[in-house]
Amino acid sequence: MKKFQPRPGFVVQAYRFALDPGAVQEKALRSHCGAARAAYNWAVSWVSASWWQRKAEASYGVPDDQLTEWRTWSLPALRKAFNQAKHTDCRFADWWEENSKEAYSTGLANAAAAFDNYAKSKQDKRKGKRVGMPRRKSKHKARLACRFTTGTIRVEPDRRHVTLPRLGMIRTHESTRKLQRRIANGTARVLSATVRFERGRWFCSFQVEVSKNARTAARPGVVVGVDLGVTCLAVMADSAGEVQYVPNPAHYDAALRHLKRLSRRVSRRQGPDRRTGGKPSRRWAIANAERNHVHHRVANLRQDGLHKLTTAITAEYATVVVEDLNVAGMLRNRRLARKIADAGFAEIRRHITYKTGWAGGETIVANRWYPSSKTCSNCRVVKAKLPLHVRVFACDACGLVIDRDENAARNLAALAAAATTGTGVAGDQDAQASNPRGADRKTRATTRSRKATGGRAGGANLLHQRQEETRDRHQDTEAHTSVTPSRTFPVETPRMLTFD
């Protein structure tokens, strides 16, 4: 499926509203989402059947030209095959007419996208973790979602109802005036609608093509570097010398004690048993709903805080520099995984990226290997090693003593100027930074054993030789950085920002 390209001067934006469906409407919503899951499972089974059939025929010595033909997974092919099978297949023949055709189209489109991701991942054309072959979705674990692209999709003028195909008019929990005003003025056009059950309630998200007025940041000529952390969610240092600390609200940690107590209560109740088909007790359902309510509140507070933070950043600065963090690798640290996941580093970068685009700004992503924490923001000397527990940066060359996160934020702010001018200093992410240890990102191809170095004496001589080489490199580095032009920042008292 090709990504929709908005018209010039328009952007694609989502408007999401909570729904208050009745009992009959909620049953219809669940039916549509179940139909999407059933169509997805049918498509996965239909395509995979030809693969396994060809594999079985090949094991019996059937020639290649006589094997079963491949079944394509393109969306038009899946739709054509499904329309032919839904009348005769016993899984759909009795009830497929109860739901909108968009429900089945949603499942088929998701299946086509899953097979595309699998093929691209197998051919090393897809970034990220390797994607396996699509599997069928479980009735108990699949997320309830359905997308509508055609039919009657509108926001009612009373600003309290939305209309969807086959579902009719559904009341919204909140007013839809923000979207209805734009539609009435002709500055917005609804492209599609997606209903989803998450966090204990139903939501309807409208994909809208919106006309955006040209906006400029409050300080367009100032560059800000954003360094993310656990203790302080974000440390921002701009090119004007101002430093701002945003404390981490740690919503999950604040609710952890309450969640532990509720989880113990749930464990004492009789829950569901999928192995024997046992149903949960009523007291278990009540306790589980109370625990889920706390989880949903934590997620809502986190999302609200991240939106307020990123909106404030993009409204003040036109150029924002962020780091390309390996969040998946950071989550492998069992001591910090919970706090890193609670902070939402990836969401902050995603919000900043599209919000600066709306405001006509620019987001610069620093290289993952750029030593922002190890580089001195005053003289540009790069430290050989800086452990994570060392929270204060002390430069051995110029004697600068500064907070570790503030030093990294200053280096990120200087990176924007270096990226445009190409000065070749440590602030340039493409420049070769000095490395006193001689270490690099790649593992060395050869190593020396004790036998090759002549035992202990040989090893001692080798160690002494490496110490001499390291000392020479360090002296060369100091001589080089002493004549390298650098940017300095006036020292000001940092101010704390809070986003309630």
405 is catalytic: yes
Q: Which DSSP string corresponds to 83-122?
A: HHHTTT-TTTTTTGGGS-HHHHHHHHHHHHHHHHHHHHHH
Q: Select from 412, 500, 491, 419 the least CA-distant residue to 229.
A: 412
Question: For residues 397 and 477, what is the distance between their CA atoms, to the nearest angstrom?
Answer: 10
The radius of gyration computed from the CA coordinates of the chain, to the nearest angstrom, equals 29
Q: Beta-carbon neighbour count of residue 306 at 10 Å?
A: 22
- Counts for the chain of helices (H) and strands (E), in that order: 11, 15
Place of tokens 């390309």: 324
Q: b/e per residue, 24-49, with b = 16+ CB within 10 A? A: ebeebbebbbbbbbbbbbbbbebbbe
DSSP 64: G
CB 41 within 8 A of CB 136: yes
Task: Retrieve residue 369's tokens.
Answer: 């290997």
Q: Do the bridges between strand 154-155 and strand 392-394 make them parallel or antiparallel, or are there none, so unpaired?
A: unpaired
Considering the candidates 102, 238, 342, 405, report the single residue annotated as catalytic: 405
Q: How far is CA 38 from CA 72, 92, 208, in A?
A: 19, 9, 28
323 is catalytic: yes
For residues 435 and 448, give the distance between their C-alpha atoms in angstroms, rounded to a whole number: 21
Of these residues, 323, 342, 406, 428, which one is catalytic?
Answer: 323
**Residue 287 exposure: Cα atoms within 13 Å on the Cβ side:** 19
Element (H, E) at 210: strand 201-211
Catalytic residue of the set 102, 227, 238, 342: 227
CA 263, 268, 273, 277 torsion: positive or negative?
A: negative
Are the beta carbons of 100 and 166 closer than 8 angstroms? yes
Give yes or no: 304 in active site: no
The CB-side HSE value for 369 (13 A sphere, CA atoms) comes to: 10
- Residues acting as catalytic residues: 227, 323, 405
